[in-house]
């Protein structure tokens, strides 16, 4: 068999061999210290980790036990495992999984002073998005809103969410349905962990953490912060809607009846909950809707109808100053005008 030689010499500070979870995690960690080159047999998606059918040998629940995982791993290895390596694997596993769950980009303002605690905005990308799209590159949907908020003095965290790979994540969501769960069951756990982590940072004021998401991130805004009270407020951009019409209409071309998002009919959505009922759970915390008049996620009148039901409840409770909607003459994008003022006011941070 002949040996194919590279036509060029590649110089790098670190050479990582293997594109599995261990190799790619090492490459990410080393990236801050120099140039990294990853060698794989095929594309980075073609690895044993990518095709693994099993779970992760880690004790995450109170009912689980590290010693049981250690014993099972040694038994399955049939004498081939290094006992000390197995002990490290199962012992450090929980911390590594929690780190993975909270994965994302943290932006810390340059103006932060020693000993100061700042408010945080968790900025969530939409479907097909990545954290970097919210920070750089002038993506017309996001308008660098995470970086702009950091420039205004907020600590910003941009989590990497699970809805990537189109039908792949949809099938995973469908599998979760068989055990009375959904993709948002995992996203809620993700946000529980990232909130714990954010509150542990010495420069974060844990009582002033807000959420702001676009599209699928806007969907997250009405499904996650209402359940997690460590979020002081929530902003839904490019998603707030009358869910029943969005899912069932056969007259509007943007209805889910005509799109690829076949996972969207959720259990009890429309029958028990619509967007107003989901957002009711934010009370008494502030909630805002950002709506582009040309956003084909729905019609202005659909959004207005659903928002009116929510605003009515806030008004009856004397909380009219904590509920807001901003319409702007644009599409499926972050506008960053009224929402920025809303964040400054309710997270109690002065505008520049």
Which pLDDT score, from 0 to 100, does residue 52 have?
Answer: 64
> Taking residues 236-255, what's their average pLDDT?
92
Look up tokens 């509007």; give the residue. 252
Whole-number pLDDT of residue 2: 45
User: Is a pLDDT exceeding 90 seen at residue 158?
Assistant: yes
Task: Tell me what pLDDT residue 295 has.
Answer: 96
pLDDT in tens, 117-152: 999 999 999 988 888 899 988 899 999 999 999 999
Could you give the CA distance from residue 190 to residue 224 in angstroms, rounded to a whole number?
A: 10
Assess whether pLDDT exceeds 90 at residue 350: yes
Whether residue 220 contacts residue 283, with contact meaning beta carbons closer than 8 Å, is answered with no
The pLDDT value recorded for residue 101 is 60
Greater confidence (18 vs 1) lies with 18
- Residue 1: the pLDDT is 40
Cβ count within 10 A of residue 190: 22
CA 42 vs CA 39, 174, 204: distances in Å: 9, 30, 42
pLDDT band at 56 (very low <50, low <70, confident <90, very high): low
Report the length, in residues, of the chain. 352
Sign of CA dihedral 144, 148, 150, 154: negative
Q: Which helix (H) or strand (E) covers residue 29, if one does?
A: helix 21-30
Q: What is the pLDDT averaged over residues 55-75? A: 76
Tokens 């990236």 -> residue: 31
Q: What is the pLDDT of residues 265-300, one digit of tens each?
A: 888 888 889 999 999 999 999 999 999 999 999 999
Question: Which burial class, exposed, middle or buried, applies to 46 when counting CB atoms under 10 A from its CB (0-12, 13-18, 19+)?
Answer: exposed
DSSP string, 164-205: -STHHHHHHHHHHHTTT--HHHHHHHHHHHHHHHHHHSTTEE
Residue 32 above 80 pLDDT? Answer: no
Beta strands per DSSP E along 273-336: 287-292, 323-328
Residues 90-98 have a mean pLDDT of 74
Q: What's the confidence (pLDDT) of residue 98?
A: 64
The radius of gyration of the chain's CA atoms, rounded to the nearest angstrom, is 23
Q: What is the pLDDT of residue 343?
A: 99
Where along the chain do its domains lie? 7-54, 57-101, 104-346
In this structure, what token pair is assigned to residue 41? 């047999």
CATH class of 104-346: alpha beta
Distance CA 9, CA 337 (A): 50
Q: pTM of this prediction?
A: 0.79
Per cent of the chain over pLDDT 90 is 53
pLDDT tens-place string over residues 14-30: 998 988 878 877 887 78
């Amino acid at each position: 068999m002949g040996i194919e030689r590279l036509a060029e010499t590649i110089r790098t500070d670190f050479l990582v061999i293997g594109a599995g979870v261990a190799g790619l995690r090492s490459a990410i960690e080393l990236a801050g210290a120099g140039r990294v080159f990853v060698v794989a047999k095929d594309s980075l998606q073609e690895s044993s980790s990518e095709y693994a059918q099993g779970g992760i040998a880690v004790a995450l629940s109170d009912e689980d036990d590290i010693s049981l995982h250690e014993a099972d791993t040694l038994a399955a290895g049939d004498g081939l495992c290094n006992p000390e390596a197995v002990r490290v694997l199962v012992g450090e596993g929980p911390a590594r999984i929690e780190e993975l769950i909270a994965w994302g980009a943290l932006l810390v303002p340059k103006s932060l002073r020693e000993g100061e605690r700042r408010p945080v905005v968790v900025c969530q990308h939409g479907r097909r998005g990545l954290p970097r799209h919210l920070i750089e590159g002038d993506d017309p949907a996001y308008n660098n809103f995470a970086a702009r908020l950091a420039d205004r003095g907020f600590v910003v965290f941009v989590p990497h969410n699970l809805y990537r790979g189109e039908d792949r994540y949809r099938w995973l969501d469908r599998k979760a349905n068989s055990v009375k769960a959904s993709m948002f069951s995992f996203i809620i756990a993700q946000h529980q962990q990232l909130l714990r982590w954010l509150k542990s940072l010495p420069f974060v004021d844990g009582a002033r953490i807000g959420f702001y998401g676009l599209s699928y991130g806007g969907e997250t805004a009405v499904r996650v912060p209402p359940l997690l009270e460590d979020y002081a407020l929530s902003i839904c951009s490019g998603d707030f809607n009358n869910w029943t019409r969005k899912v069932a209409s056969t007259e509007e071309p943007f209805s889910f009846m005509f799109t690829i998002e076949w996972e969207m009919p959720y259990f009890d959505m429309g029958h028990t909950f619509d967007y107003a009922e989901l957002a009711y759970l934010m009370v008494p915390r502030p909630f805002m809707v950002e709506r582009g008049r040309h956003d084909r996620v729905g019609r202005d009148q659909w959004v207005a109808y659903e928002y009116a039901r929510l605003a009515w409840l806030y008004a009856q409770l004397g909380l009219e100053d904590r509920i807001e909607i901003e319409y702007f003459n644009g599409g499926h994008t972050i506008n960053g005008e009224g929402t920025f003022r809303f964040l400054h006011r309710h997270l109690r941070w002065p505008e520049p």
